[in-house]
Amino acid sequence: GKVEEIPTWWYQVVNVLDNSGNKIFKIRGDSCFTFCCNDIPFQILDLDGNQVGSITKMWKGCCKEAFTDADTFILDFGVNMDIYHKCLILGATFMLDFMFFEKQDNNN
């Protein structure tokens, strides 16, 4: 399977696709990030728009957020999620981390 970013003006959205290219989940963040002093949740939605899990970037405190590049995520897969789908969600978590929470170094 694969994970694709869906450009939107308001929400952070990625689609999770199976090996055949069929959409199996949509992962959607809040309408805007509040980076300061808050956990940042992403909903894992099925094709009907029902929440089946979540990904949350945990707020680690001012010092750790400012002076380290370490991030902590909590994944809630919900009940009875297939191991294949869990692997795709884990990959989507890495993609969300690189897209929204890693600093770009323009010198390299």
- The whole-angstrom separation of Cα 50 and Cα 95 is 22
**In angstroms, rounded to a whole number, what is the distance separating the alpha carbons of residues 5 and 91?**
13
Q: What pLDDT, on the 0 to 100 scale, is given for residue 33?
A: 57
pLDDT on residue 12: 86
Overall average pLDDT of the 61-72 stretch: 71
Full-model pTM: 0.85
Query: Is the model's pLDDT at 72 over the cut of 90?
Result: no
Determine how β-strand 13-17 pairs with β-strand 40-45.
unpaired
- A 10 A CB-CB count for 44 gives 23
